[in-house]
């Protein structure tokens, strides 16, 4: 099936179904499909249909405005709002509601608000729509006709080009003590500062009577710090499994975030060197933190704390610049023009985030994706999770990054 055939098939769905869910991977044109369905609904009535379009963030409104202009939306009675503003629309009536990135509906508060909204037609758009959420929406609005196209299916059937995925393995160093761990205990105002090597830490940690008020800076290798963070993660995880206390759960999740952030930060210099090889490509680098994006991208970084992020995205789409360094905000809801390559610094367990990142770079004729990971760490689990079911023919490993030469 081609992409055009998919759109034609979808146009037929709206003729016999008032509840549509498009669960398509990024890059297939969910926005276009919903606009085409809206135009069909309008063509069957008299005058403008009343449309409520709900988006994840204010930054996505501009992108939708361009899509509505590009695909010639017929109705001029369109209200565009963010999910955070849904409470304003309790007890309202619409001809059509389009929920962009519909997985954001997954809270009890939003579902409660939806029960008071009346609409003739609904279109859900999402690359990954949880089944439990779809069941909840079905109870409120009735049965949905689901059109589902996975990333693998889209590639296999030629709707998206075959990507080239390059895995870049790294090893955590265990020879140079250039990392630090800070342990603190006792009364803050009375704390005495000490420094020691990783192997010497127990002299302090096991004798807190001798050292009652301490700020201890432990010098360690990257591998030692990773193992320490993993021990912290396992400790809080096991404690939560025993107690089921919420504050313990928060500690467990925090420990996991610290470990993932550490792996991402440790890749910074490797990524910086590698990006020189992409100097002739239009690329986007998905960074692991705001600090990393600002360091690598300088004035080309985009994130939630940067007021001119939309201006930078427009510069990229207008081909005034050829590089973007993003944190979070480009995972969904934004269309980017002419990306040739993508760099993912840090994976996680979220399949939705990976599909969105991957989809951003798969619209080029010969898309290339580069993924950094540390061997013998949690990164391996992340890789196995997001690549489950993906054809191994698309994937290769760069064993020697220094000697790697980019073709094309």
Which residues span the domain enclosing 292? 164-172+268-397
**Are 7 and 91 part of one and the same domain?**
yes
**Are 151 and 95 part of one and the same domain?**
yes
Structure tokens at 232: 């912290």
**Are 103 and 214 part of one and the same domain?**
no
Assess if residue 407 is contained within a domain. no
pLDDT digits (tens, 9 = 90+) for 204-216: 999 999 999 999 9
**Are 13 and 146 part of one and the same domain?**
yes
Assess if residue 46 is contained within a domain. yes
Minimal CA–CA distance to 290: which of 309, 273, 277? 309
**Are 258 and 303 part of one and the same domain?**
no
Q: Work out whether strand 93-99 and strand 51-55 pair parallel, antiparallel, or are unpaired.
A: parallel
**Are 276 and 183 part of one and the same domain?**
no
**Are 353 and 366 part of one and the same domain?**
yes
Does the pLDDT value for residue 390 go beyond 80?
A: no
Question: What's residue 209's pLDDT?
Answer: 93
Assess if residue 112 is contained within a domain. yes
Assess if residue 405 is contained within a domain. no
Question: What's residue 361's pLDDT?
Answer: 64
pLDDT digits (tens, 9 = 90+) for 336-346: 778 888 899 98
Assess if residue 406 is contained within a domain. no
Q: Domain of 55: which CATH number? A: 3.40.50.300
**Are 279 and 253 part of one and the same domain?**
no
Assess if residue 314 is contained within a domain. yes
Question: What's residue 356's pLDDT?
Answer: 64
**Are 183 and 243 part of one and the same domain?**
yes
**Are 362 and 393 part of one and the same domain?**
yes
Domain stop point among 241, 266, 291:
266
Q: What's the whole-number average pLDDT of the chain? A: 90
Domain stop point among 156, 187, 220:
156
Domain stop point among 266, 299, 332:
266
**Are 147 and 207 part of one and the same domain?**
no
Assess if residue 141 is contained within a domain. yes
**Are 14 and 150 part of one and the same domain?**
yes
Q: How many domains does the chain have?
A: 3
Does the pLDDT value for residue 284 go beyond 70?
A: yes
Assess if residue 404 is contained within a domain. no
Lowest mean pLDDT across 41-50, 178-187, 288-297, 348-357 = 348-357
């Amino acid at each position: 099936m081609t992409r055009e055939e998919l759109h034609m098939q979808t146009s037929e769905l709206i003729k016999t179904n008032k509840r549509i869910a498009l669960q398509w991977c990024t890059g297939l044109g969910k926005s276009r499909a919903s606009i085409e369905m809206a135009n069909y609904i309008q063509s069957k009535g008299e005058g403008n249909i009343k449309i409520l379009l709900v988006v994840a963030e204010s930054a996505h409104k501009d992108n939708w405005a361009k899509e509505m202009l590009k695909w010639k939306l017929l109705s001029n009675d369109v209200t565009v709002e963010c999910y955070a503003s849904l409470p304003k629309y309790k007890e309202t009536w619409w001809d059509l509601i389009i929920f962009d990135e519909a997985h954001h509906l997954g809270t009890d508060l939003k579902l409660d608000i939806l029960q008071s909204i009346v609409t003739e037609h609904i279109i859900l758009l999402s690359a990954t729509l949880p089944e439990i959420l779809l069941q909840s929406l079905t109870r409120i609005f009735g049965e949905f006709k689901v059109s589902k196209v996975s990333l693998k299916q889209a590639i296999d059937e030629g709707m998206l080009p075959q990507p080239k995925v390059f895995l870049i393995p790294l090893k955590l160093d265990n020879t140079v003590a250039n990392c630090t761990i800070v342990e603190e205990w006792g009364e803050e105002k009375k704390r005495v500062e000490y420094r020691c090597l990783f192997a010497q830490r127990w002299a302090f940690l096991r004798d807190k009577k001798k050292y009652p008020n301490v700020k201890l800076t432990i010098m360690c290798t990257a591998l030692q710090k990773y193992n320490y963070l993993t021990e912290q993660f396992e400790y809080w995880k096991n404690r939560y499994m025993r107690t089921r206390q919420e504050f313990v759960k928060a500690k467990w999740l925090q420990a996991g975030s610290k470990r993932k952030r550490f792996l991402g930060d440790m890749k910074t210099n490797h990524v910086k060197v590698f990006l020189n090889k992409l100097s002739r490509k239009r690329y986007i680098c998905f960074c692991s933190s705001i600090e990393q994006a600002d360091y690598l991208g300088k004035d080309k970084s985009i994130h939630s704390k940067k007021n001119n992020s939309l201006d930078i995205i427009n510069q990229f789409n207008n081909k005034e610049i050829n590089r973007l360094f993003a944190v979070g905000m480009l995972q969904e809801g934004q269309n980017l023009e002419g990306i040739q390559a993508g760099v993912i610094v840090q994976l996680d367990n979220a399949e939705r985030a990976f599909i969105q990142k991957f989809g951003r770079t798969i619209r080029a004729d010969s898309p290339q994706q580069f993924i950094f990971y540390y061997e013998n760490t949690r990164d391996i689990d992340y890789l196995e999770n997001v690549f489950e079911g993906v054809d191994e023919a698309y994937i290769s490993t760069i064993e020697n990054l220094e000697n790697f030469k980019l073709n094309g």
